[in-house]
């Protein structure tokens, strides 16, 4: 059975005019709550307490709900400040891009 990766948090960034910016993100593996990971890298694991501290320090933003991501996708920040889950190659024209809500 293949693991499902869920994006839970992302690293905020400044907006750029006319440019979609890929954001670094934090994930969990579906069904596991002991650790968070940096993107898809299982070698870089964080305890929940570390993530909570980074959120309190405004170094991480929280998604309203975790969203499944596959390796061909990224989290994007639009010039208007909207966050999307979309193709890693052509996010603006991805017909399956999904707008994400943040806390």
d(CA 21, CA 44): 23
SS (H, E, C) 33-82: CCCEEECCEEEEEECHHHHHHHHHCCCCEEEEEEEEECCCEEEEECCCCC
pLDDT in tens, 60-74: 999 999 999 999 999
Residue 64 in contact with residue 103, Cβ under 8 Å?
A: yes
| φ and ψ at residue 80, rounded to 5 degrees | -85, -5
Q: Which pTM was predicted?
A: 0.93
pLDDT in tens, 14-26: 999 999 999 999 9
Residue 1 confidence (pLDDT) above 70: no
Residue 70 in contact with residue 82, Cβ under 8 Å?
A: no
Please give the average per-residue pLDDT across 43-47, as a whole number. 94
| Residue 16: CA count within 13 A, CB half-sphere | 9
Residue 77 in contact with residue 28, Cβ under 8 Å?
A: no
């Amino acid at each position: 059975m293949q693991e499902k990766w869920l994006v839970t948090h992302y690293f905020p960034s400044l907006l750029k005019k006319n440019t979609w910016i890929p954001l670094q993100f934090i994930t969990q593996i579906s069904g596991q709550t002991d650790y968070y990971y940096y993107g898809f890298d299982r070698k870089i694991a964080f305890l929940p307490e570390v993530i909570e501290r980074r959120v309190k320090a405004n170094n991480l933003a929280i998604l309203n709900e975790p969203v499944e991501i596959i390796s061909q996708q990224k989290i994007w920040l639009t010039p208007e400040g909207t966050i999307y889950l979309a193709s890693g190659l052509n996010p603006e024209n991805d017909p399956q891009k999904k707008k994400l809500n943040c806390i």
